[in-house]
Amino acid sequence: GRYLYNFFPAKLHLFILKFKDNELKCLCSFCFPASDIAPEVASYSDVAKQIIDLAVFGAARNRSYRRLADFTDTIGNRVSGSQNLEMAIKYMHKAMTQDGLDVHLEPVKIPHWVRGQESAEMILPRAKSLAILGLGSSVGTPPEGIQAQVLVVQSFDELKQRASEATGKIVVFNQPFVSYGETVAYRAFGASEAAKLGAVATLIRSITPFSINSPHTGWQDYQDGVKHIPTACITVEDAELMWRIAQRGQAIIVKLIMGAKTLPDADSFNTVAEIRGWQHPEQVVLLSGHLDSWDVGQGAMDDGGGAMISWEALSLIKDLGLRPRRTLRTVLWTAEEQGGVGAQQYFNLHKVNLSNFDLVMESDLGTFTPVALQFTGSDAAWKVMEEVVKLLAPINTTKLEMHGEGTDISPWMQAGIPGASLHVADSRYFWFHHSEGDTMTVQNPRDMDLCSALWAVVAYVVADLEDMLPR
């Protein structure tokens, strides 16, 4: 079939017209009846069970976990621009090629920020070492460091109210954790907001609901036209300590040393593996996770697990001798942690073929016990996906939720391509996120088997349906 995409203003919706057997068929969300798709999707129940059995009970049991352990134990963490990241890309290229997949690399340019040596110490009212992690893209201090009095605030509003006190100070943000999406603004913008008021550095309470004196790093963004000042995260415990001391009216002095610097952009690659479709190889269902991590821990949870289940999904399908109508393409993104840099360049390169992308999938919130599939798409596509997740009854994950999410697939979803993400039992995710605690110890092999099974069933069935998902 050939697809034509046109806007018809009379009805103000997108028609997707398919020519088949000399008939013109509209696949838009107004005209695509769910009743047509239910029997077709249900016919995949045996195949879905085969995939699930292989992943959870069969020869592939624990395989994604073992692959992740081998990978992270061999390579370690993989920050953008580092030699470790390039070693990781070579490792995965070789491993997926040996697995019998069609693998290639697509070159991109990525940021190269280096942490350097760093330390912080409270001088007054008593001597205490402070655990810190500099934030990505931060500038360093002078070699002798910065020693200054501290201003502790709990919000941007309080900082503005106390603006006259900020000049020449190290501003400590002791903001409470509300949610990652809301609270991360302090990590992202705290330095520039404080610099506007004359602060010389910022220390940000780590963006986590739970701490055992562990700092959590992450990317931060300097605002144009605002002085760049050093910024690092500190532990929840130390942020609260300084807050209590400040509330007693005692002066706090901290010495901060950071050797951070930004080097010229580095060469890197997105890593791509495929099972080519037998009928429509130009049409693509894309699965993904990101291969880079921060420079602490092992990057096992964020996002080694997502990368491995996206590889494992193709392995399961290949091992069963299955080949869908459309191409299944796994992309392991580079430099996601710096704002989806590799993925944005991939989108820029491939958006010319936008109409051939059927579904884009991303796993980047952990591979704990799967709870549901999250989905963004038209009403008609939603009806299709509701039928698809019913095939996951053997592993009790038949729930479909609104809003697929993921930094790396967001450009595609914004362009109107259906998107899906994995919702897992992630209550512990931000305990370990961007910290030394992100190691294999966090991972559970059965959880990864279940995630792999879900990922493979959804990707295969959508790729093999007679029609693409309605836009």
Q: Sign of dihedral through CA atoms 80, 86, 88, 89?
A: positive
List the one residue out of 33, 23, 28 whose CA is nearest residue 5.
28
The token pair that represents 330 in the structure block: 């796994």
Is residue 336 annotated as a catalytic residue, yes or no? yes
CB 71 within 8 A of CB 88: yes
| Active-site option among 336, 337, 386, 387 | 336
**In whole angstroms, what is the distance from residue 370 CA to residue 425 CA?**
6
Q: From the CA atom positions of the chain, what is the Rg in Å?
A: 24
Of 170, 157, 62, whose CA–CA distance to 123 is shortest? 170
Q: Vertex 196, ends 190 and 199: CA angle to 5°? A: 75
**Based on the number of CB atoms within 10 Å of its own CB, is 178 exposed (0-12), middle (13-18) or buried (19 or more)?**
exposed
Nearest-10 crossing angle of helices 63-75, 445-464: 110
Contact 258, 118 (CB under 8 A): yes
Tell the burial category of 348 from Cβ atoms under 10 Å away from its Cβ (0-12, 13-18, 19+): exposed
Strands 118-124 and 128-130: antiparallel
Any idea which residues carry the catalytic annotation? Answer: 336
